[in-house]
Structure 1
Amino acid sequence: MTEIHPGQRVAMLVDAQNLYHTAQSIYTRNIDYSALLEKGVQDRELTRAIAYVIRADSPEEESFFEALEDIGFEPKIKDIKTFSDGSKKADWDVGLSLDAVTLAKKVDTMILCTGDGDFSRLCSHLRHEGVRVEVMGFESSTADELVEATDRFIDLSERPETFLL
């Protein structure tokens, strides 16, 4: 697989809900999206950065979405769905996967920021297509099959002072 080199075209796709819940449950802190983007991309050429977020009618949400844009992310926003039994659901798995497959033709490296094992098949597909796949996540909440399906795993919990606010 391709090694890291300057000029390498990179896309970063962030499963914001996954990272948020892990950072909150383990550290009671938030993700530093600026550091995530900077350390993930390194000295390579950023083609696209997308953060997949959920709107849950929280007062600070809009300022968070704006902050993501200021950092360099394109926020893709989905409203949370509430069902008649009171249960709630919101995930971006299909949307993130479709974007990754579409972007694969335009990049050398795809960085997925998640711990969700559902993306392991996506990683295998991208690698089969010749795309280098890197995953950034917290080791304790990252599925083993996801780590095994990547070219490189970056454990955010090794440097909480860098990746958390």
Structure 2
Amino acid sequence: MTEIHPDQRVAVLTDSQNLYHSSQSTYSRKINYTALLEEAVRDRALVRALAYVIRADSPDEGSFFEALRDIGFETRIKDIKTFADGSKKADWDVGMSLDAITLASHVDAVVLCTGDGDFARLCSHLRHEGVRVEVMAFGNAAAEELIEAADEFIDLAEDEETYLL
């Protein structure tokens, strides 16, 4: 696959829920999205940075969404769904996948910031289309099939002081 070079066009797709749960369960800390985006781009030409978030009516979420936009992310916001039995569901797997496939013809590399193994098939598809795929996640919370499907895996746990607040 293509190596990283300054003329590369890159898209960064961030599964904020996945990163949040990974960082909270292991470190009880929040993600440093500025550092995450800087590492994902690495002196390349950023085409799009998308952060997929869930609106759950928590007190600080509005300021969090605004902070993501200030950093340079476009936010994709989905409301959490509550079912009759009280269970809740909200994920962006299909939306992220569709955006990645749509962007594939406009970029040389896609960086997926998630540890969700459901994206392994997406990685394979993008690579088949000639797009370099990089995954950024905490290694202890990343699915092995996702790591194996990517051209490069960046383990956020190896530099937790950079990627955690």
Distance (whole Å) between structure 2 residues aligned to residue 83 and residue 133 of structure 1: 35
The one-letter code of the counterpart of 2:91 is D
Distance (whole Å) between structure 2 residues aligned to residue 135 and residue 37 of structure 1: 12
Give the percent of matched residue pairs that are identical in Structure 1 and Structure 2. Answer: 73
- Deviating above 3 A after TM superposition, structure 1's stretches of 4 or more consecutive aligned residues are none
- The alpha-carbon deviation at position 47 of structure 1 amounts to 0.3
Matched, 1:147 2:147: yes
Q: Deviations over 1:66-120 (max 9, x none)?
A: 0000000001000000000000000000000000000000000000000000000
* Aligned counterpart, 2:66: 66
Q: How does 1:6-155 map to 2 (within 5 A)?
A: 6-155=6-155
The alignment partner of 2:29 has SS state of coil
The one-letter code of the counterpart of 1:49 is A
TM-score, normalised to structure 1's length? 0.99
- The alpha-carbon deviation at position 40 of structure 1 amounts to 1.1
Distance (whole Å) between structure 1 residues aligned to residue 119 and residue 109 of structure 2: 16
Superposed CA RMSD in Å reads 0.3
The one-letter code of the counterpart of 1:154 is I
Distance (whole Å) between structure 2 residues aligned to residue 138 and residue 2 of structure 1: 24
Q: Deviations over 1:13-62 (max 9, x none)?
A: 00000000010000000000000000111110000000000000001000
Note the residue ranges of structure 2 that are not aligned, 5 or more in a row: none
The alignment partner of 2:75 has SS state of strand
The alignment partner of 2:136 has SS state of strand
Note the residue ranges of structure 1 that are not aligned, 5 or more in a row: none
Q: Deviations over 1:120-165 (max 9, x none)?
A: 0000000000000000000001000000100000000000000000
The one-letter code of the counterpart of 2:135 is V
* Aligned counterpart, 2:2: 2
The alignment partner of 1:86 has SS state of coil
